[in-house]
Amino acid sequence: MPDLTASLARTLNPKVVVVVGDKRMNGYMWLRNMQNFTGQVYSVQVDPNEIPGIEEMGIKNFTSLADVPGDIDYVLCAVPRQISPRIIADCAARGVGGVALFTSGFAETGEEEGATLQAELGNIARDASLALIGPNCMGVYNAKLGVRQSGEQPTGEAGPVGFISQSGTHAINFSLTGAAQGVRISTSISMGNAEVLDVPDYVDYLAEDDDTKVIAMYVEGTKDGRRLIESLQRATAKKPVVIWKGGVTEAGARATASHTASLATSTAIWDAVVKQAGAIATVSLDDTVDVLKALLLCKPAAGRRMGLMAMTGGQSVVITDAFERAGQQVPRLTESSYAKLAEFFNIIGGSYQNPLDMGGTIGFGGQSDHLQRLLDILEEDANVDAITMELASGFMARRWKADPSSLDSMLDLLVKHKERSTKPFLTTLHPGHVEEIAAQARAKVIERELPVFHSFERAARALSLATDYWLQET
């Protein structure tokens, strides 16, 4: 009999998927989620009212799992909870790799009936080394193979982020919000009540997965904290791990208990666990996406000293505040940099102490030779470990709209800089009053794999958290 680890690997990389109990009422969402699946999809449904709709989609339906031909790697099960033990037993009997149980009404209800039923499912699965995911979950997402938790999730190429989520909503939201900002998923698991497989099992899998360059997770609690720490320590020796912990406040902890039946624990101890494991703690969806951007799109920083580039005096002050508050430093540049800057920097309405108040000098993006010189000076400056540049939509939107190629050529110049540079290079693009133009501009930045953040503060925090990771003692 295979072990659970092997069963999980098979489940997450399936060739044959079966959806059990999909319904018209849900818009046959599970079968639709598999529309881009590279392998074979079958349906199991006994209700004669549901079957025609399934067959109309061109999917072969069976009335029993036993009738499905060949090996089955992954079953997505959406049957009522009373029936679920029978389906799990069928999966065990068929030698299925794993099953994700969308069905809810188990331990998360806090009632004995649900808890007993969940334990029953667990026993059947464990005895058969069946990788039971959930119950009360949204299943798995493998971008490369086209196995999805939501029909909106992109498919095709594998992204670099492996994601584990105790909440189905966060699993899906993260994959969509991240993808919109260029942070894409390799494999994502919505783990639900984690009856058989818990956070450490998924961490171990993603640590070994070649497509996964960074592991991120939304977690509220775990059954075995010591196993979790050990798995995190193994993972962080190979790749960065970002932990977004839900349920940190008193009120949050109560919500946790009713959500996924996990034990609440104090913020202090979770913080300690994250540090002890060498992982990175984040506090929200945006925070998580931001730090992943920094980890994936920046070269590792050797220190915290910033070279900052803003368009105006007021922004120069505020960008400095943002980075210093986040624990970064904004030092004076070297004398040699000042000598070079003095040759061409427009000090009428500008200054170059660091930050570089450079709007006039670079013609608000129009004078690319000056922008190039500024980047080169900061790149060579021994007092600078990382560079952040403001893309000021407020000033530049009109030009970008009138002449989109002006933005393209500036971004291409930045891409060339980033490729040459040994230092992290970040950009910020605030939507301001031109949200639509900013969104179009942002898409161009993202397309070029330049890290772009919605505000100075978010850029500063993301870089600071990533730098904690890059500089930590090993």
Q: What is the DSSP letter of 364?
A: G
Q: Under the criterion CB under 8 A, does residue 468 sit at the interface with another protein?
A: no
246 touches another protein (CB under 8 A): no
Positive or negative, the CA dihedral 260, 263, 267, 270 is negative
Q: How far apart are CA 65 and CA 72, in angstroms?
A: 9
On the CB side of 401, how many CA atoms lie within 13 Å of its CA? 12
Task: Give the separation between CA 65 and CA 324, rounded to whole angstroms.
Answer: 60
Torsion angle of C-alpha atoms 140, 196, 21, 103, degrees rounded to 10: -90
Name residues whose C-beta falls within 8 Å of residue 152's C-beta, 6 or more positions apart in sequence.
172, 176
Residue closer to another protein by CB (options 28, 218) is 218
Q: Are 141 and 147 in contact (CB under 8 A)?
A: yes
Tell the smallest beta-carbon distance from residue 386 to another protein (Å). 13
**Which range binds another protein by CB under 8 A, 95-103, 281-289, 298-306, 388-396?**
298-306
Closer Cβ to another protein, 100 or 206, answer by number: 206
Minimum Å gap between C-beta 275 and another protein is 6
Q: How many CB atoms lie within 10 A of CB 296?
A: 19
Closer to another protein at the Cβ: 275 or 433? 275
Binding another protein (rule: CB under 8 A), the pick from 17, 44, 296, 308 is: 296
Measured distance CA(374)–CA(409) in Å, rounded? 16
Q: Interface residues for another protein in 387-426 (CB under 8 A)?
A: none
> Binding residue for another protein (CB under 8 A) from 40, 43, 222, 328?
222
Q: Which is nearer to another protein, 230 or 286 (CB)?
A: 230
Q: Are 466 and 294 in contact (CB under 8 A)?
A: yes
263 binds another protein (CB under 8 A): yes
Closest to another protein by CB, 298 or 362: 298
Among 66, 93, 255, 269, binds another protein (CB under 8 A): 269
Residue closer to another protein by CB (options 298, 411) is 298
Smallest distance from another protein to CB 299, Å: 5
Please tell me whether residue 240 binds another protein under the rule CB under 8 A.
Answer: yes
Q: How many CA atoms lie within 13 A of 193 on its CB side?
A: 25
Under rule CB under 8 A, residue 229 binds another protein: yes
Among 268, 343, 348, 405, binds another protein (CB under 8 A): 268
Based on the shown chain and the rule CB under 8 A, indicate whether residue 93 belongs to the binding site for another protein: no
Tell me which of 98, 192, 278, 365 binds another protein, using CB under 8 A.
Answer: 278
Degrees, nearest 5: CA angle 303-428-281 = 55
Q: Which helix (DSSP H) or strand (DSSP E) does residue 426 occupy?
A: strand 425-428
CB proximity list for 407: less than 8 A, separation 6 or greater: 365, 396, 399, 400, 441, 444
Task: State whether residue 461 is helix, strand or coil.
Answer: helix
Q: Which of 99, 29, 85, 94 is nearest to 57 (CA)?
A: 29
Q: Of these, 100, 298, 310, 374, which contacts another protein (CB under 8 A)?
A: 298
Both structure tokens of 99: 């099953």
User: Minimal distance in Å, beta carbon 474 to another protein?
Assistant: 5
List the interface residues with another protein, window 300-339 (CB under 8 A).
300
Q: How far is the CB of 251 from another protein (least distance, A)?
A: 19
**Interface positions, 150-189, toward another protein (CB under 8 A):** 159-160, 182, 184
Where does this chain bind another protein (CB under 8 A)?
A: 159-160, 182, 184, 213-214, 221-226, 229, 236-240, 263, 265-266, 268-269, 271-273, 275-276, 278, 295-300, 449, 470, 473-474
